[in-house]
Amino acid sequence: MPKQVDHRERRETIARALWRVVEQRGIAHASVREVAQEAGISHGAVQHYFATREEMLVFAMDFASEQTSRRVTEGVRELGDPPHPRDVLRVMLAEMLPLHPDARATSRMSAAYVLEALHDANIHTRARDGLAQGRDLVERIVRQAITDGHIGSDRDPATETNLLLALTGLTPLIELNVIEPHEALTAVDQHLDRLFTDKG
């Protein structure tokens, strides 16, 4: 049992090192050698845990998704019981945007992963499945909100889901200092206010 814990911890250490390489230098520098150097371990040690660069990237992205889900869960837990769907969606959208260091690291990792997916069939399948799963979750929340009368019955749940997720497109505007983080949140809030017929 202790060996399994150490194994997971070491893999997470390597994943976080990969995040830092991607965040600071870009995906082109995310080689096993550079990640090993960033993690402060040997090249061979990284290869012990990840036989290929692809394996390392996949685990790092899965771990990033886990951390985002954990932050969303913690944020939703702080809401009322039961939480209002508008507030749940706000927490989810806020954690998808690079509004704080942890979210920025996972956001940049996600962007790099998408670029890799365009040229790697295996990564493409995993990335697509992950995005589809996340989208399905948002659509379920929207559909339930329509059923419960929080969103107008004339709204199409699929379209509204796509429009909500389109707000994550504010990411490059934040990253390149075109807009400030608070302006992105204002856009999120105003969109949610227009979507929901009540605020809870």
Question: Does 1.10.357.10 match the CATH number of domain 53-195?
Answer: yes
Confidence of residue 197 (pLDDT cuts 50, 70, 90): confident
Distances (CA, A) of 152 to 93, 111, 143, 144, 160: 21, 33, 10, 11, 11
Q: Which amino acid is at 191?
A: H
pLDDT tens per residue, range 120-145: 998 999 999 999 999 999 999 999 99
Provide the pLDDT for residue 26: 84
Q: Give the angle subtended at the CA of 43 by the CAs of 40 and 49, to the nearest 5°.
A: 95
Distance (Å, rounded) from C-alpha 98 to C-alpha 94? 8
Q: Where are the chain's structural domains?
A: 53-195
pLDDT tens per residue, range 98-107: 999 989 988 8
Say which range, 52-56, 90-94, 151-155, has the weakest mean pLDDT.
Answer: 52-56
Distances (CA, A) of 56 to 36, 48, 80, 124: 11, 11, 38, 15
- Dihedral angle of Cα 102, 104, 105, 107, to the nearest 10 degrees: 120
List helix spans (H) across the chain: 2-25, 32-39, 43-49, 53-77, 85-96, 101-117, 121-147, 157-166, 171-175, 181-195
